[in-house]
């Protein structure tokens, strides 16, 4: 029903079970743990599984030999450490 109003495809749907969701919220326990066999929990797990398989691991790029001011200030090992802490990711490897 909702897909007719959206410009994008609807890839997932979660069944409506307001009493079960409300109970889970009030108890402070995730629905996928408290009612793992429910249709809602199964749909959430299925969505999470599909979304997680679409994610590729991020690859960290090895820094090129330093040049310029930074290269003169930092030893190559220090430069690698700085770049590693900055979690630089090469956009070509995404």
State pLDDT tens for residues 7-52: 878 788 899 999 999 999 999 999 999 999 999 999 999 998 888 8
pTM: 0.51
**Dihedral sign, Cα of residue 68, residue 69, residue 73, residue 76:** negative
Q: What are phi and psi of 60, to 5 degrees?
A: -85, 135
For residues 49 and 10, membership in a common domain is answered with yes
Q: Which helix (H) or strand (E) holds 6?
A: none
- Residue 34: domain span: 2-54
For residues 49 and 33, membership in a common domain is answered with yes
Cα–Cα distance measured from residue 73 to residue 93, given in angstroms and rounded to the nearest whole number: 29
CA–chain centroid gap for 37, Å, is 25
For residues 17 and 42, membership in a common domain is answered with yes
Per the structure, the count of domains in the chain is 2
């Amino acid at each position: 029903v909702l897909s007719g109003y959206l410009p994008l495809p609807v890839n997932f749907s979660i069944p409506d079970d307001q009493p079960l969701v409300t109970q889970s919220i009030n108890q402070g326990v995730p629905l996928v743990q408290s009612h793992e066999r429910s249709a809602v929990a199964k749909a959430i797990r299925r969505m999470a599984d599909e979304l997680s398989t679409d994610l590729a691991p991020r690859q960290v790029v090895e820094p090129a030999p330093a040049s310029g001011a930074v290269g003169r200030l930092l030893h190559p090992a220090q430069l690698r450490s700085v770049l590693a802490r900055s979690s630089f990711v090469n956009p070509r490897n995404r």
